[in-house]
Structure 1
Amino acid sequence: MSLKQIYNIKNIVTVITVTMFFSCNNSLKKVQQMGVSENEPASIAENINMKYTDSGRVTRNLLSPKMLDFSNRDFPYYEFPEGVTLYLFDKNNDKTTIISDYAITYNKTNLIDLQGNVNIITKTNGTLLAEQLFFDQDKSWVFTNKPVTYKTNTDEINGNGFDSNTDFTNAEVLEVTGVISIDE
């Protein structure tokens, strides 16, 4: 083999190698999504018990029989099709309980959308009944613009909307449609 032929073969091999190198696209996201349908969750978990802490203290505890993980979406979320029980703990470790038939947690906004027979039992034994309620985890705030019934130790208030911090010290029923005083 002549020197010219060896030189041509080396050039051809170099061109093929460089072409192959630049044509490979190592997209981790595409690899992760291989085999995952656009409408399917990335994972499914059962018997969820998630605890949120702040400075070593449990501030929230979310329990659910089933969680669907859609973190593979452009707007990631977790869906709880069989409902949730959410415990909120204040600085004195007093507990507020929120129960709903269905929930979605949105990762980017840090909101929990609670739907279907939403029932809140406050640390002072007040209750809130609603069909839908949002919990803003960043601001520790609950709100809705749907019909609600809010029962305190002295009143039962019906309205179209609710706005409160999670301690319920700033609780407000919006567009009040009726108040019933409770005699003890």
Structure 2
Amino acid sequence: MRIKHTYIIIATVFTVAMFFSCKNNFKEVQQVGVLQNKPIGEAKHINLKYTDSGIVKANLLSPKMLDFSNRNFSFSEFPDGVHLILYDENNNENVVVSDYAIVYTQTDLIDLQGNVILATHTNDTLFADQLYYDQRREWLFTNESAFFKSASGSIGQGNIFDSDTKFENYLILEGSGVSYIDE
């Protein structure tokens, strides 16, 4: 009987010790997932200049940038829009503006959304609801509403737009039919 009584005391001591050593970490556990969904950094009033060999190639202006490089598929988000000035080899300005933008680091893809306007120094102008820019291929495309007016006066409108960055060869589909405009 004495051995049985000793086992009961030992079991009780361990149970009480375990009970008092446990903490309620539920709130901390919940925060783990939340922290992974939050940006790792936030920047305000951005005026970023990109240079190559001492020559300014681009100037990015934005009220706010959120850095999500803590994710497996990292990206930077510009929730309040962007104003981007791109300079060509002759220092001519080409301007891109949008209400919202995301830059995907791994794929070099930029997603511009809301009142997207791209205006070149030669007065070619593209208006779109959404526009993707593939930085590797230097290619613009969308499957949303787009309107393009070239400097020569050609006009195209549709729901699919596909073009190189200089608008030397572009395609507009749907809406007002198929438009191949070769200047």
**What TM-score does the superposition give when structure 1 sets the normalisation length?**
0.72
Q: In the alignment, which residue of structure 1 is the partner of 2:165?
A: 166
Of 74, 77, 80 in structure 2, the residue corresponding to residue 79 of structure 1 is: 77
**Aligned partners of 1:144 and 1:60: how far apart in 2?**
23
**Aligned partners of 2:55 and 2:173: how far apart in 1?**
33
Gaps of 5+ in 1: 1-33, 180-184
On the 8 A contact 1:157/1:176 being kept in 2, the answer is: no
**Aligned partners of 2:50 and 2:135: how far apart in 1?**
10
The one-letter code sitting in structure 2 at the alignment partner of 1:104 is I
On the 8 A contact 1:90/1:167 being kept in 2, the answer is: no
State whether structure 2 residue 91 is matched by structure 1 residue 105. Answer: no
- The size of the alignment, in residue pairs, is 146
- State the shift of 1:176 in Å: 5.7
The one-letter code sitting in structure 2 at the alignment partner of 1:117 is N
On the 8 A contact 1:110/1:136 being kept in 2, the answer is: yes
Q: Identical aligned pairs, as a percentage?
A: 54
**What TM-score does the superposition give when structure 2 sets the normalisation length?**
0.72
Superposed CA offset, 1:96-130 (max 9, x none): 11110000001101111000110111111121111
**Aligned partners of 1:168 and 1:52: how far apart in 2?**
23
> CA 1:107–1:131 in 2, change beyond 3 Å: closer, same or farther?
same
Partner secondary structure for residue 177 of structure 1: coil
Q: Please, which moves more after superposition, 146-155 or 80-89? A: 146-155
Q: Please, which moves more after superposition, 107-116 or 153-162? A: 153-162
The one-letter code sitting in structure 2 at the alignment partner of 1:73 is R
Partner secondary structure for residue 76 of structure 2: strand
On the 8 A contact 1:88/1:166 being kept in 2, the answer is: no
**Aligned partners of 2:49 and 2:163: how far apart in 1?**
22
**Aligned partners of 1:176 and 1:96: how far apart in 2?**
27
Superposed CA offset, 1:19-43 (max 9, x none): xxxxxxxxxxxxxxx8x81121101
> CA 1:172–1:52 in 2, change beyond 3 Å: closer, same or farther?
farther
Q: In the alignment, which residue of structure 1 is the partner of 2:128?
A: 130
**Aligned partners of 2:86 and 2:48: how far apart in 1?**
12
Q: Which runs of 4+ in 1 moved over 4 A?
A: none
- State the shift of 1:90 in Å: 1.4
**Aligned partners of 1:144 and 1:123: how far apart in 2?**
22
